[in-house]
Amino acid sequence: MQASQNQLLINPRYLALLLAVMVAIMPFSTDIYLSSVPEMATSLHAPIYQVERSLSSFMFGVALGQLLGGAISDIKGRKVIAMIGLSVYLLSAIAIVFINSASELLFWRWIQALGGGMATVTVGATVRDFFQGNEAAKMFATIGIITLAAPLAAPMLGTALAALGGWRIIFIFLFVYALMVLMCVWRFMPQVKIDFQPLDSRVFHKIKQNFSVVFHEPEALGFMFLQTAAFAAMFVFLTESSFVYMNIYGLSAHQYSWAFAANIITMMLFNRITAYRLRTTPARNILLSGVFLQLSCNLLLTMVVWSMNRPPFFLLLTLIMFSIGSQGLIGSNTQACFMSYFRKIGGSANAVLGTMQFLIAAMVGWLTTLLHNGSLHVMPTMMLISTSCGAILLWTLSRTAWQEKYR
């Protein structure tokens, strides 16, 4: 086992692959059943917006799971927290197979996300344990490139699985995948040596101190809020995409999967551009191009929808492709910039980042379902508002980062 762990440490590609298959639990969990949302609503005798809320319910669970998992991993170690989280995820996935109502779906998706959040928050902390600066950004970009295979394949895989055995078989697949990830984590995941402590009042006081350190670093918070806002914009699309593409534009489940895949292919392209540019360009500079691209696309998308009511699908798809694809320029670079401020409390810092990201996205997604009125206007408007707020907060809190040497 030690030899295997050393191999992972010596070759960052092995470590990136291991962490990527863990991170892929998130896009698999959210994207794999999107094309089955109408079928699930019929099966559970619920309005479609209630099933759409299962995405927000999942994000609320991820937020809490990341908050707990990240903080405790600084004390108990990354590996043990990842394994506990994956175990909770496994049990919840099986429970979802037997549900009979939308309320049960919301509850078990929340529990499933709690475990998934505890597991995946250890990824960013593990990268921070072993890499710094642009090297950390390269690792995040590499993980992102590998992980993007999941959202690329997830809708198509979900459609195929549902065609074979209905939507419930999708969650059986998630159980099997998480079980395989758990085995890989147990066998190969490395971790730095940690001074283990009992979970008493002193530990929780330490956790509180760590979180306080994060929130007292305003320059870092600008990067956090940007990533949160950019993710929220993407989550608005995830929440409304099946309705917009399938109900308004009449796409079939298979056509929806291909349209969704176009976003991921664009994101993969920008991820590759990020990895290439990081050889010579600071992560914070690449990040700015992503912010400009997403803001421009969301602005144009909103103007087109409000002026034309129902624009040609090709135009809508193109603008969404580049808006969602810009995450390839934003995600890894924002995370690297944020994490660079927290050398000794990577788990707590990553927990705050992940918690805020998923909590705000869940709230924005839930608000989007409340505003759902059967029109096309809600989705682009909410996407634009999210990105605009992120850009404003980045400029307000972190603009001095471009005036100082990158840490």
Residue 14 has pLDDT above 90, yes or no: no
| Average confidence (pLDDT) over 140-166 | 82
Please report, for the chain, the start and end positions of each structural domain, with discontinuous segments joined by +. Answer: 7-401
Q: What share of the chain is helix, strand, coil (3-state, %, to 5)?
A: 85, 0, 15
pLDDT of 337: 86
pLDDT in tens, 21-68: 898 898 889 888 888 888 898 899 988 888 888 888 888 898 888 888
Residue type, 109: R
Compute the distance between CA of residue 69 and CA of residue 258 in angstroms, rounded to an integer.
35
Element (H, E) at 71: helix 48-76
Which range among 273-277, 326-330, 351-355 has the greatest average pLDDT?
A: 326-330
Asked whether the beta carbons of 171 and 68 are under 8 A apart, the reply is no
Q: Could you give the CA distance from residue 70 to residue 16 in angstroms, rounded to a whole number?
A: 19
Dihedrals phi, psi of 99, to nearest 5 degrees: -75, 160
Higher local confidence (pLDDT), 335 or 44: 44
| CA torsion through residues 369, 373, 374, 375, sign | negative
Residue bearing the bigger pLDDT, 323 or 333: 323
346 neighbors 339 (Cβ within 8 angstroms): yes
In contact, 345 and 213? CB cutoff 8 Å = yes
Q: What confidence tens digit (pLDDT) does each residue in 240-271 have?
A: 888 899 889 999 888 988 898 899 889 888 98
How far apart (Å, rounded) are the C-alpha atoms in residues 8 and 2? 10
For the chain, what's the residue count?
Answer: 407
Q: Please tell me what DSSP assigns to residue 281.
A: S
With a cut of 70, say whether residue 192 has pLDDT above it.
Answer: no
Taking 80 as the threshold, does the pLDDT of residue 148 lie above it?
no
Please give the sequence-ordered ranges of beta strands (E in DSSP) within 163-218, or none if there are none: none
| pLDDT at position 196 | 54
326: tokens are 């810009």
pLDDT, position 127: 80
What pLDDT sits at residue 3? 44
* Topology classification of domain 7-401: Growth Hormone; Chain: A; (1.20.1250)
User: In this structure, are residues 47 and 169 in contact, taking their beta carbons and an 8 Å threshold?
Assistant: no
More confident of the two residues 188 and 351: 188
User: How many Å apart are CA 358 and CA 63, to the nearest integer?
Assistant: 5
Helix (H) or strand (E) holding 194: none
Kindly tell me the burial class for residue 388, based on how many C-beta atoms sit within 10 Å of its own C-beta (0-12, 13-18, 19 or more).
middle
**Residue 6 in this model has a pLDDT that exceeds 50:** no
State how far the Cα of 351 lies from the Cα of 353, in Å rounded to an integer.
5
In the predicted model, is pLDDT for residue 291 greater than 90?
yes
